[in-house]
Every structure is written in structure tokens, then in C-alpha cells.
Amino acid sequence: MKQGKDRVRPGEGDIIVTAVGEHYAIGRLKANGEMQEYLQSQRNRIVALRQACAHAGATHRVFLYPSAGIPDYLPVDCAEVVKSRTTGGKR
């Protein structure tokens, strides 16, 4: 579903990775479009994105919510995430 010009919004079943303090929470969007089912959390962003892509599989998308104070979702290209290296840093 699109919002505004070329803006993609997550839908039911899509995976959201949210930066929360010193970790990244991974959740699956529920049918109401606002609530998330908690799946897990990770301290490293690349690891969190890889886990999110694994949860999404081929049928759902992954979005990064970089800050609870910024109401904008960034779509994640799982093909690029899988190719990226983990640097060992937290962020």
C-alpha cells in the first residue's frame, strides 16, 4: 500500500526492525496495521536485519524504523543485507 508520493508502508505480516535504546527489536505487523507481534531483539543492526529477512521469507517485506521519534519506515533490501558483512559494532 502506498502513502504519498512513492512512499511504501508496511502491511500485515511484514517485519519491522525498530531501534530501541541499545538494541533492535524485531516484530511482525498484525492485521490492524499498528500493533506488532514481538519476535526477538539483537544488539547489532546487521544481525537484526538478517534475522528480520529470515522471518519475512519470500512472502513479506522488511522495514527499518530507525527511531521511535521518527514516524517513517525505510524499506530494506534483503538481498543486500545478506551480502553485507558484520563489522562487530553495535550500530
Question: Nearest Cα to 13, choosing from 67, 52, 48, 68?
Answer: 52
User: Cα separation of 70 and 56, whole Å?
Assistant: 23
Residues with Cβ within 8 Å of 87's Cβ and at least 6 positions away in sequence, in order, are: 46
By three-state DSSP, how is residue 42 classified?
strand
Question: Is residue 61 in some structural domain?
Answer: yes
Mean of pLDDT over the chain: 84
Question: Is residue 33 in some structural domain?
Answer: yes
pLDDT digits (tens, 9 = 90+) for 35-77: 889 999 999 999 999 999 999 999 999 999 887 676 788 999 9
Q: Which three cell numbers stand for residue 34?
A: 499498528
Residue 42 β-bridge partners: 24
Quote the domain boundaries for residue 35. 15-79
Structural domain count of the chain: 1
Taking the whole predicted model, whether its pTM rises above 0.85 is answered as no
Would you say 82 and 34 are in contact if contact means Cβ atoms under 8 Å apart? no
Question: Is residue 41 in some structural domain?
Answer: yes
